[in-house]
Chains A and B, each alone.
Chain A
Amino acid sequence: MHTFAKITATEAKLFLRTPVWAVFGTLLPAGILLGVGFIPSMSKPSEATGGHRFIELWVPSVIVMSIAMLALQAIPAAVATYREQGVLRRLSTTPAHPANLLGAQLVVHAAVAVAGIAVTMVVSSAVFDVPMPRHPVTFAVTLLLGIVSVFALGLIAGAIARTSKSANVIALLAFFPIMFFGGVYLPRPLLPRVLQRISDYIPPGAQPLQDAWVGTGVQPLQLAVLAAFAVVGTALAVKVFRWE
């Protein structure tokens, strides 16, 4: 545990010394929400979105974007860079397992994702009067599962790629579908019905996040599928990871 704490503290320090992702990850999602929110039609109730304002339903998509950015752009590049530099191999010759380093990467990036999501929630509430989640506990659980499931995908990309360039290319294969099904490009209510149903089950779970926020609570099946993604994804990442 001492080793993991020390590695995580060191990783956090390094992360903040090149703060591009820390700044980006914390502020960009809220910035985009502000940009879209100030388009007048976005913050008026609409029939297409069941009487809700578009901006309310879009907040989960901003969360999806925040998680996808960190998980599928920042993490694969970080892991592949450590591989390229021989850091993972160097660590393999010490009593510290390189898994400590990956764990530290996940913790640091997850912290930024959570910070970015928190800023987004504060902005959406302060500027657009979007209420805080109605079901805070289910919301937190869904968010945790969502983060783990997409981070696992990022780790898989970092695991199988030999260079940081190919890690980014592999991760993009997951990035675009996750952004699309998360309703980032096109509002989810405007997707064809079949795609909407599919998107209900795609991590990090825009639909369960939205249900925990404004709806009547999360459907257990959607949460179970998300949990399955998280468990299987993490196990697969550990299995396919090459330590050198």
Chain B
Amino acid sequence: MPLIEVTDLTKRYGSRVAVDGVSFTVDRGEIFGILGTNGAGKTTTVECLQGLRTADSGTIRVLGLDPVKQRDALRQRLGSQLQESTLPAKLKVREALELFASFYPSPADVEVLLDRLALTEHADSYFGKLSGGQKQRVSIALALIGNPEVAVLDELTTGLDPHARRDTWQLVERVRDAGVTVLLVTHFMDEAERLCDRVAIFDTGRVVATGTPSELRATTSKSTLDDAFVTLTGRD
């Protein structure tokens, strides 16, 4: 049974259709990429998975749970890193982790997590004083603090320099290696090519292709996922 199963998901904001009949499945242990340009419906889809929004129609099961009706049960097992979400500037890194740890029934060890994300030396720094890459590592740490089975990482490397991006990619691989299924939302094709086992390509609210990066390159006869993406979304 797939770990995440989305069937015919539709979500409208007023008369605008943000997500239009989206279906895909994610297996346990995968890094699954949700790819698309801005406004393609990626974030809305993920917000429905997280139970932050209610779908207009279609069904979603995450770990066999309905994200809206069983949101409390799901939230203990699903970790999230949100696009454009920040922490109070005067909160220290360790305090943030300890605070979030208190929300979960069996959280990860704060010191171990700090160490895994190379944050130990910044543990007593204010969140507001951290670099972009350090802030992203904190937000990944917070997504993992509850020992989740699934982690949703939304636009993880936007605004990071090339070194910080590569470090973050390694982290995501290590998260997966630790047994967490990762749902990665991104509009960077190099990131998806490097990290994702499979991807779903979103375009104007629909899924136009699903498969491994190499499958998508093969079906479009392109040498990079970037070119394949442009062909699939029909704007080349």
Contact = CB atoms under 8 A, between A and B. Distances in A.
Same complex for A and B? Answer: yes
Interface of A: 2-3, 6-7, 10, 13-14, 17-18, 82, 85-87, 89-90, 92-96, 244
Contacts, number: 60
B102 A3 contact: yes
Q: What is the interface of chain A mostly: helix, strand, loop, or mixed? A: helix
B82 A89 contact: yes
The 8 closest A-B CB pairs, nearest first, are A86-B85, A93-B80, A96-B103, A6-B102, A17-B90, A90-B85, A94-B103, A95-B75
A94 B88 contact: no
12 contacts: A10-B99, A14-B91, A85-B86, A87-B86, A90-B82, A92-B52, A93-B78, A93-B82, A94-B75, A94-B104, A95-B76, A95-B103
Contacts of A95: 72, 75-76, 103-105, 146
Nearest to A2: B102
Contacts of A82: 88
A82 B90 CA distance: 13
Interface of B: 50, 52, 72, 75-76, 78, 80, 82, 84-88, 90-91, 95, 98-100, 102-105, 142, 146
Contacts of B91: 10, 14
A94 B100 contact: yes
Contact of A87 (B52, B85, B102): B85
Q: What is the interface of chain B mostly: helix, strand, loop, or mixed? A: loop
A46 B95 CA distance: 56
B52 A89 contact: yes
B84 A86 contact: yes
B202 to A, nearest CB: 21
A150 B95 CA distance: 31
A208 B53 CA distance: 45
Nearest to B75: A95
Contacts of A13: 95
